[in-house]
Amino acid sequence: MTEKEAVDSDKQARQFLQLMDWASQHQYEHYEISNFAKTGYHSKHNSAYWQGVHYLGLGPSAHSYNGNSRQWNIAHTPQYIKALQQNNLLTETEQLTAAQQLNETIMIGLRTKEGINLLQIATQFGPQAAQQIQTAAAKHLQLLHLQQNNHQLQLTQNGKLFADAIAADLFV
């Protein structure tokens, strides 16, 4: 395939559905939209991102996250070392608004098998945010792209084909 050839989205969808079926038949858990593993063998590193765990990154290009902001170190190793020796670490910081934090919670939650926890949303962002998501989810529930188990909204197998669009519909 050349650079200019378009991806056949129907073929891509069929292949992804085949992959999900094969993985399930072979006892692989589809624990994140692009990750499969045997039970107990999930990526601990990446799972921290999907669960919104705070982390500290050390070294050139390393990223940190504290729930309210992301910070990253310069990528150039010699400059990083020089700045460190001068007690003048060069970083950039992105402050996240409440809406950005909520939208990230939605996007990341949908990517995981656990889905979006509406009780957690209500506690962290207010009951109106949870209600807004519930209202926006109604059409995807009807299309069987989402399923709801108590307070959890989760993508169905077919819904995983539309994960980004569904997330965008649920964003505030």
Instruction: List, by residue range, all CATH 1.10.10 domains of the chain.
Output: 98-170
| Segment 47-65, tens digit of pLDDT | 777 888 899 999 999 999 9
| Segment 126-137, tens digit of pLDDT | 999 999 999 999
CA–CA distance, 71 with 63 (Å, rounded to integer): 6
Predicted confidence at residue 45, as pLDDT, reads 78
| Class level of CATH domain 98-170 | mainly alpha
| Segment 61-111, tens digit of pLDDT | 999 999 899 999 999 999 999 999 999 988 999 999 999 999 999 999 999
In the predicted model, what is the mean pLDDT of the chain? 93
CA–CA distance, 109 with 49 (Å, rounded to integer): 10
Predicted confidence at residue 52, as pLDDT, reads 82
